[in-house]
Amino acid sequence: MKTNETILKLTKTDEPHVVDFIESILDREYPEVPHHHVVDDLDKLYETYQGKRDTFLIIKNNGAIVGTVGIKEENPQVALLRRLFVAPEYRNKGFGTKLVEEVIRFCEQMKYEMILFRGTNHMGRAIRIVEKLGFIKRDLVDFGDFHIFIYAKLL
Q: Domains in the chain, ordered, with CATH?
A: 5-154 (3.40.630.30)
- Return the higher-pLDDT residue of 38 and 154: 154
- Return the higher-pLDDT residue of 138 and 29: 138
For 71-130, the pLDDT digits (tens) are 999 999 999 999 999 999 999 999 999 999 999 999 999 999 999 999 888 889 999 999
pLDDT of residue 36 exceeding 60: no
Q: pTM for this one?
A: 0.92
- Return the higher-pLDDT residue of 138 and 36: 138
User: What is the strand order of the sheet 146-154 is part of?
Assistant: 5-9, 55-61, 64-75, 78-86, 114-120, 146-154, 136-143
